[in-house]
Amino acid sequence: MLLTDHNIKALSTRYDIDELEYLERGDKETVIRPEDFEDAILNIRKAIGNLPDTKVGQFVLMDACLALEKKGVDPFKLCEAYLEVSRSGKYETLTDEATEEVIKLSGAEPIHVYELLIAVSEMQQRRMNFLYGRVKRKTWDGTVSLDRLFEGEHVPDDPAVYLDQRYIDYLAQNGEDMGNIHWRNFERLTTEFFHRQGYEVELGAGTKDGGIDVRVWTDRESKTGPPLMLLQCKRYRNAVGIGTVKAFWSDVHFEGAEKGLIATTSSVSRDSKRICEARKWPMTFAEAKEVQQWARTMWRHAPDIEK
């Protein structure tokens, strides 16, 4: 993710990242110790949802080895097998064949080898070798600007993806910014959430779409009939009022959908909820906290969230 100076300063202030908070571009040289810079980058990566914590890579591997030891597994034997395969020169990446060789050399259960290899991969993802030694150049594999999340619609290259995972990661960690993102990206977030729940979804055009933001079916085969549910996305600061709810209910009824859902970054007025209950309209609402939780469930580190 591409961060501007403004983004870094804002995140440094929000998360008390002292090493970066007062950095300024200019003619004067800024001195920062490598270990402090490494800590600062880990903190920034956590702030944008790229990491679940700020552990240095070596500690991630150490924790995995201690956990294996508690299970009665010899982590040193596993590490020796991994290093032997890694240094053999036969594999450029950790292929299935390489993993099988580690399992064979270590004599350990596959599940324990996988646990170690996951920790090794995580350690490598967190390391910043450019601070301490030479590294190979790598072709840049694409970037997204954080500002784009707020300033305009971002359309992922993959048509099966509605919102880039890096934006979801950011919102998972910074739910308070949900109400500031571009309205179209909020529609994309909502669509992505229901797509990942296994539904067949159709994102509206955004303009001239009849006021229907998202259509949802149970599966692709049922798409020939009326939608299971219509979604309306309201990136509001104020509460969603009765007028909006009434207008949306008419769309739900006209399309023959079983129910409707209004997702909002704010709240839904009490009177709006009461009229749905009184008239028995099959309408539900996802307000600010629930919508923020959607991003949390789609976060790449969601399994690491403490339950």
Q: CA-CA distance, 152 to 217, in Å (whole number)?
A: 28
DSSP 239: P
pTM (predicted TM-score): 0.86
Domains in the chain, please, with CATH? 5-54 (no CATH), 57-126 (no CATH), 163-298 (3.40.1350.10)
Ranked by mean pLDDT, which of 8-12, 40-44, 294-298 comes out on top?
294-298
- Residue 275, CA distances (Å) to 108, 248, 299 in order: 62, 13, 35
Backbone angles phi, psi at 41, to 5 degrees: -65, -40
Res. 54: pLDDT tops 80: yes
Condensed to tens digits (0 to 9), the pLDDT of residues 83-123 reads 999 999 898 888 999 999 999 999 999 999 999 999 999 99
Secondary structure of 35-84 in HEC code, one letter for each residue: HHHHHHHHHHHHHCCCCCCCCCHHHHHHHHHHHHHHCCCCHHHHHHHHHH
Give, in degrees to the nearest 5, the angle at Cα 211 between 208 and 215: 105
Per-residue model confidence (pLDDT) at position 33: 75
Condensed to tens digits (0 to 9), the pLDDT of residues 172-227 reads 999 999 999 999 999 999 999 999 999 999 999 877 656 789 999 999 999 999 99
Per-residue model confidence (pLDDT) at position 208: 63
Strand-pairing partners, residue 262, are: 232, 285
Per-residue model confidence (pLDDT) at position 305: 46
Q: Of 12-16, 119-123, 142-146, 208-212, which gets the smallest average pLDDT?
A: 208-212
* CA nearest neighbour of 170 among 300, 60, 9: 300
At 156, the pLDDT band (50, 70, 90 cuts) reads very high
